[in-house]
Amino acid sequence: MAKTLNVPLIGTRRPRSSDGTPHASRRPGGSVPLALVAAGFALAQLLLVHPGTGLGWDETVYVSQVSPHAPAAFFSAPRARGVSLLVAPVASWSSSTALLRVYLALLSGLGLFVALRVWRGLFPVRVLALAGALFATLWVTLFYGPQAMPNHWVAVGALVCVGCFLRAHAGDRARAALWGTGLGAALMAWMRPPDAVWVTLPLLVLAVAAPRWRRARPLFALLGGLLAGAAEWIIEAYTAYGGLGRRLSDGSRIQGGLGWNIAVGDQLRSLGGRVLCRPCTGGMPSPVVTAWWFVLPLIAALGLVIAVRARRPVPTLLLLACATTAGVPYLFMIGYAAPRFLLPLYALAAIPVADALVHLVTAPGGRGRPVLVTLVAAGLAGHLAVQFAVLEATVRRTAGSHHGWAVTAAELHRLGVRPPCALAGRQSVPIAFYAGCSSVATSGHNANATAAGITRSARRMPVAVVTAPGGEPPGYARAWASHRAGDVDIYVSSGVGSRTP
């Protein structure tokens, strides 16, 4: 049987190393509850997020890199190609969004199972199952699980990396633990290199600065994984972006300039279902929607207190430390918010939170215990109701916007703008993908063309510009045929379509 690390339940003691890390144990834990949680997560995505929902803006950028459906969209400096490679097994031969969603939902469920299983023995299985359920039922987790986006996979890699790092330090199945540490780090760096550094910062500090944690093999596995995952991104920085420093600088500029900026309020505003809060203005969501966000750190702190009292503080401390560093750039260093940015934080914090909740409902409590169990159950039920309500509204709103892009693409085809073609202007990146065109821009974060170049292209293929109703087209398109299509105006290059009054 596979050797596991076994952490005792509250009130018992087992041998541990001098720094508080549990020693390895051969007693296996059950994987069935974890498999059920992961399967439920995948099924919930398929039932609640509608596989037929079209691709979002960022998704079209990632998918277009490997899809024959449309030319590759401009790939800006902050992006990494992990998502494109992740979707390639489906997107490289099929344009079916539903098939891609099913593939990603199943894959994200498998990823959650693997990530939870890494921690089997470090925490009781019932704690891990509850942690998985808490993370999997957040609206943001369900919404992004089946999407071609990187953040869920950073969360999975974070859980794998931190758990395997602990196992490697304790000497538990050393070779497998070292591989897990490296692969978890590589997965994060493959998806979002800067996020990988932030998540692993406590591990790196511990491995270098704490004498009892100075073991070469775990440190080399961690560094090797980070470098392996980020290698393509670093090489591409020198071949296409003017160097690593330039790519990092451009990435910071595109994200509004990274620096001291308290974005906690922005993240709170995004909890109501705003997938991108930029600029993040408007009122706060209802306190019913945001309450869980304030309760989360309190319960996590309780989990730490419980772990200290049970003399098993290291796993909980490391989880919370990595969760904190994962959240720092998105809470204090960026001028806008997207709820998906905090998925790694939520995944790492879910285990201490679940540990605290299990302790609350199982520890001896006399006559007050039934009241406490009722309060916890009622709180969780209310939390789930809020999450599913926000998810339903977010899916409905997102599906509507994606449908609008598809309608505009269909109108472009009707006007004669068919592949090979090019599209500029308002929301040109996703609309171009839907239409099978390339997207071009002369300014902004996605600038990849000049006005002269677009004019030359218009002589050999259909080119169109999309603007808001009544919006002014760029100078090169002012003489082109104009058309109204729903809530946008379309200007089509001379020789394609006909001028309307």
Report the alpha-carbon angle 82-277-101, nearest 5. Answer: 40
Tell me the average pLDDT across 27-46. 88
Q: Which domain holds residue 40?
A: 4-16+30-363
Tell me the average pLDDT across 396-422. 95
pLDDT for 10: 33
Q: Which 3 state secondary structure label does DSSP give 485?
A: strand
**Residue at 376 is within a domain:** no
158 Cβ contact list (under 8 Å, min separation 6) = 184, 188, 199, 322, 326, 344, 347, 348
**Residue at 339 is within a domain:** yes
**Residue at 372 is within a domain:** no
Question: Based on the domain organization, do 343 and 275 belong to the same domain?
Answer: yes
Beta bridge partners of 428: none
Question: Based on the domain organization, do 404 and 355 belong to the same domain?
Answer: no
**Residue at 389 is within a domain:** no
Nearest to 249 by CA among 262, 237, 263, 231: 237
Phi, psi of 8 (to 5 degrees): -70, 155
Q: Are strands 4-5 and 481-485 parallel, antiparallel or unpaired?
A: unpaired
Integer-rounded Cα Rg, in Å, for the chain is 25
Return the percentage of the chain with pLDDT > 70, whole number: 92
Alpha helix stretches (DSSP H) within 145-278: 151-170, 174-191, 193-209, 216-240, 244-254, 264-270
Question: Based on the domain organization, do 353 and 434 belong to the same domain?
Answer: no
Cα-based distances in Å from 285 to 274, 336, 354, 379, 401: 10, 16, 26, 19, 21
Question: Based on the domain organization, do 174 and 291 belong to the same domain?
Answer: yes
- The crossing angle, in degrees rounded to 10, of helices 97-118 and 82-91 is 130
pLDDT for 8: 36
Question: Based on the domain organization, do 252 and 355 belong to the same domain?
Answer: yes
Nearest to 454 by CA among 468, 464, 445: 464
Tell me the average pLDDT across 37-65. 96
Question: Based on the domain organization, do 157 and 268 belong to the same domain?
Answer: yes
Return the minimum-mean-pLDDT range out of 24-38, 82-96, 362-376, 394-408: 24-38
- Condensed to tens digits (0 to 9), the pLDDT of residues 240-257 reads 999 999 999 999 888 877
| More confident: 169 or 385 | 385
Q: Is 1's pLDDT higher than 80?
A: no
Q: Give the number of other CB atoms < 10 A from CB of residue 336.
A: 18
Domain final position from 363, 379, 412? 363
What's the first-to-final CA gap in the chain, in angstroms?
78
CA 82 – CA 444 distance, rounded (Å):
24
**Residue at 293 is within a domain:** yes
Reading the block at residue 361, the tokens are 């409902």
Return the minimum-mean-pLDDT range out of 16-25, 38-47, 225-234, 283-292: 16-25
CA 66 – CA 100 distance, rounded (Å):
13
Question: Based on the domain organization, do 350 and 470 belong to the same domain?
Answer: no
**Residue at 342 is within a domain:** yes
Band the pLDDT of 154: cuts 50, 70, 90.
very high
Domain count, the chain: 2
**Residue at 277 is within a domain:** yes
Domain final position from 318, 345, 363? 363
CA 126 – CA 402 distance, rounded (Å):
39
pLDDT for 309: 93
Band the pLDDT of 497: cuts 50, 70, 90.
low
**Residue at 351 is within a domain:** yes
Question: Based on the domain organization, do 129 and 238 belong to the same domain?
Answer: yes
Question: Based on the domain organization, do 298 and 408 belong to the same domain?
Answer: no
Domain final position from 314, 341, 363? 363
CB-facing half-sphere around the CA of 278: CA atoms within 13 A:
11
| More confident: 6 or 375 | 375
Band the pLDDT of 444: cuts 50, 70, 90.
confident
